[in-house]
Amino acid sequence: MHLSKRGFTLVEVLVATTIGAFIVSIALGALKVISTSAEMVDDNIRTTAEVRFASNILARDLVNLYRDSNIRNMRFVGSVVKSGDRAVSILTFYTVGRTKARIDQPEGDVYEVEYYLLGDEEKTYLMRRLWPNPDPNKVEPGGVLTAIAKDIDIFEVRFFDGEEWTDEWPEEMQSLPELIEVTIGAIKAERRGSAVESFMVNFTRFAGGEAAASEEGGRSGTSESSGGQAEGSRGQEQSGGTGSSGTEMSR
C-alpha cells in the first residue's frame, strides 16, 4: 500500500506564525509593564529613604541645639531665598555633636550647621554644612559640606514666636522661636509617587531636658537633649527604606 506524505500548507504556516507573533508581543508587553512597575517602586523607596534620612539628621541637630546663658554665644538664623518661582529656606544654627567632622584635626563639641538646597532644574541636593570650632568674626564660613539627600524639591522652615508663624527668623531677633516646623519633600511631575516628611521641634524646654520624638503611625522614643522637644509627623510617602550618605567636600 502506498502512503502519501503531506506537509503544512502555506495558509497553516501563516496562521501559526501570526499566533506565535501575537503571543510573543503579549509576553514582551507584560515584561515591560513589570519592569516599569519595579523601577517605579525602587524609585519611590529610594526617594522616601532620602527624605527620611535628611529629616532624621536635621531633627537630631535641632534637638541638640546649643544653648548658652549669653545669647551672643548662640546662633539661630532662618532666611528665605527665591529659587525660580518658589521660596527656599536656609537654616543656620549651633548644635552640639559628639561625632567629629574631621578625624585628623582637633575639634570641640559645638558646631555651626547650615541646611539649604543646591542644584538646578535637573538635580537638586539638600546640603549640610558642618563647621567645627565656628568663628563668628570670620566673613566666609568654613566646614565640611555634605549632600545628605538628592532630588529634594521642598525644603521649608517656619518659626512660631508665640503669637504667629513666620518664614524667617533673622539674627537680630536675639532669641529662639518657641516652635520650628520643617518640611522636606521630593515631588516630581514624572513620578506617580512622592515623599514628604514634616516634623516640629519645641524649644521651650530648658537645656538638659528630656526630648521626646514621635511620628505619626505609632513610633515614639526619648533621648537626652540640650535643645528642645521634637515631634515628627509623617506626610505623603510610599514605603520605608535605608538611609543614604552624601558626598563630602571640605572647605
Q: Tell me whether residue 179 is in a domain.
A: yes
Strand partners, 236: none
Q: Tell me whether residue 37 is in a domain.
A: no
What pLDDT was estimated at residue 174? 81
Q: Tell me whether residue 25 is in a domain.
A: no
Domain that holds residue 120: 44-250
Q: Are the CB atoms for 53 and 151 separated by under 8 Å?
A: no
The neighbour count for residue 224, using CB atoms within 10 Å, is: 10
- The arrangement of strands across the sheet holding 86-96 comes to 76-83, 86-96, 110-119, 124-132, 144-150, 248-250
Average confidence (pLDDT) over 96-101: 78
Q: Tell me whether residue 5 is in a domain.
A: no
What pLDDT was estimated at residue 217? 34
Within a 13 Å sphere around the CA of 140, how many CA atoms are in the beta-carbon half? 2
Q: Which of 226, 197, 198, 199 is nearest to 211 (CA)?
A: 226
What pLDDT was estimated at residue 218? 33
Q: Are the CB atoms for 51 and 152 separated by under 8 Å?
A: yes
Location of C-alpha cell 516628611: 197
Instruction: Give the residue ranges of DSSP H helices in 2-95.
Output: 10-63
Q: Are the CB atoms for 68 and 208 separated by under 8 Å?
A: no
Q: Are the CB atoms for 54 and 126 separated by under 8 Å?
A: yes
What pLDDT was estimated at residue 54? 93
Q: Tell me whether residue 119 is in a domain.
A: yes
What pLDDT was estimated at residue 23? 87
* Count of domains for the chain: 1
What pLDDT was estimated at residue 206? 45
Q: What percent of the chain has pLDDT over 70?
A: 74
Joined together, the cell numbers standing for residue 67 give 544653648
User: For 13-48, how does the pLDDT look when each residue is reduced to its tens digit (9 = 90+)?
Assistant: 788 888 888 888 888 878 777 777 777 777 778 888
Q: Tell me whether residue 30 is in a domain.
A: no
Q: Are the CB atoms for 244 and 114 separated by under 8 Å?
A: no
Q: Tell me whether residue 3 is in a domain.
A: no
Q: Which of 91, 63, 55 is nearest to 76 (CA)?
A: 91
Length of the chain: 251
Q: Tell me whether residue 130 is in a domain.
A: yes
What pLDDT was estimated at residue 3? 57
Q: Is the pLDDT of residue 2 over 90?
A: no
Secondary structure letter of residue 120 according to DSSP: -
What pLDDT was estimated at residue 57? 93
User: For 187-244, how does the pLDDT look when each residue is reduced to its tens digit (9 = 90+)?
Assistant: 765 545 578 899 999 988 644 444 444 444 333 333 333 445 555 544 443 333 444 4
What pLDDT was estimated at residue 222? 32
Q: Is the pLDDT of residue 173 over 70?
A: yes
What pLDDT was estimated at residue 126? 93
What pLDDT was estimated at residue 192? 53
